[in-house]
Amino acid sequence: MDYEVIIVGAGSMGMSAGYYLAKQGKRVLLIDSHNPPHAEGSHHGETRIIRHAYGEGANYTEMALRAQKLWGQLQDTSDEAIFVNTGVVNIAQPNSNFIQNVKKSAKDYSLNVEQLTAEDINNRWEGFNVPEGYIGCYELDSGVLMSENCIRAFREGALKHGAEFKPNSPVTSISIFDNYVQVETQQESFTAESLVVTPGAGTRKLLPLIGLDLPLQELRNTFSWFETDESIYDSTAFPAFSFELPTETYYGFPSMKEAGVKIGRHDGGRPRDMRKPLETFGTYEQDKQDVTRFTERCIPEVGQHKLGKACTYTNTPDADFIIDKHPDHDHVAVACGFSGHGFKFSSVVGEILSQLVTEDHKSQLDISPFSMQRLNVVGNVFKNE
């Protein structure tokens, strides 16, 4: 057997899994069709928010807290910034399901969260213009992950602990047998005892190679940077944020190292044809128009639009993740469908995947909400309907 574990897809989740497996002394091979970190998936753009009081549901808070601990451990091994404690303020109307979930998880887990009125927010941070009647939940211990630094640190750590990496190597075939797997690229063939599949934006292309067809949709989304008054929006003075309006949801970052305020629209997006290159920012008028309109209304002290980029969301029907073992093969684990809010969890997802393909094949955290079984099952094949 060439390896103990092969990981197909070495982006956010896969590189993390490779790191934790290699740290255990496992013989690991990472394969990716690109050379992470790169701009073809969902991890580029320098920064990602990490929140603990999680508006998307109680299933995530325990994972977020474990992820934060693991990010701290990774920071201890890296000379590059991994996490910046800017705080995160979640803003919405009081009856919002999102803000109610934030409040509930803050209470249930005794998190360091302050509840603020619109007036409180506007008085504390000059850069906001929150409409009257909105409220905010300010998480003091949350902040910003430097996403590309995170992947570099996982990559360097995995290689340091003996993992092997094959970048720019698209997988053409996967064969799963009772006690091993065989993975082929255009140039080479490899065998291993176990397989981890974390294909990111390539999910719907690769899952049929292991007999799965999940109801996923790829969306093109965009984010932008704006010229900034550093005295107002610098990361030492302004928090990261999520902002839910009645029909739109945005997220944003303070200016990191004078890069400018970064803002993106989380909902919406355009269906992406994965057979074609990712359309660049500015292809559609809406790319710039939406975020500019939002800043004029709610973040009025920022300056002109500076730069924009596009990325890919791979969404499940319920926007919850898929983290599970293959329904027919206990030695194959799958993680995908992170629906535009997965990066913050990549440290803990990598740890979970390392547990699913070693020892007793069980995660130490409850991942039952992320099972494939919640999706439509027909004869052990998940249909895209």
Is 344 a residue of the active site? yes
348 contacts 365 by C-beta, under 8 angstroms: yes
* C-alpha dihedral, 267 to 270 to 271 to 275, nearest 10°: -130
Is 262 a residue of the active site? yes
**Strand residues in 125-170 grouped as ranges (E):** 135-139, 143-146, 164-166
* 318/374 Cα distance (integer angstroms): 10
Is 48 a residue of the active site? yes
Is 288 a residue of the active site? no
Is 44 a residue of the active site? yes
* 316/334 Cα distance (integer angstroms): 14
Closest CA to 315 of 351, 279, 280, 266: 266
Residues 6+ apart with CB under 8 A from 252: 240, 241, 243, 261, 262, 263, 264, 299
The active-site residue, picked from 23, 26, 44, 305, is 44
280 contacts 310 by C-beta, under 8 angstroms: yes
The active-site residue, picked from 311, 312, 325, 326, is 311
Q: How far is CA 66 from CA 154, 159, 181, 214, 281, in A?
A: 17, 24, 31, 28, 34
The active-site residue, picked from 47, 228, 295, 314, is 47
DSSP H helical ranges for 236-314: 285-298
* 185/143 Cα distance (integer angstroms): 39
* 302/234 Cα distance (integer angstroms): 11
The active-site residue, picked from 155, 266, 305, 309, is 266
- For residue 249, what are its two tokens? 């949801």
30 contacts 7 by C-beta, under 8 angstroms: yes
How many C-beta atoms surround the C-beta of residue 73 within 10 A?
10
* 194/8 Cα distance (integer angstroms): 11
The active-site residue, picked from 23, 34, 43, 48, is 48
344 contacts 248 by C-beta, under 8 angstroms: no
The active-site residue, picked from 26, 305, 341, 344, is 344
* 11/217 Cα distance (integer angstroms): 19
The active-site residue, picked from 262, 325, 326, 341, is 262
Q: Could you list the active site residues?
A: 44, 47-48, 262, 266, 311, 344
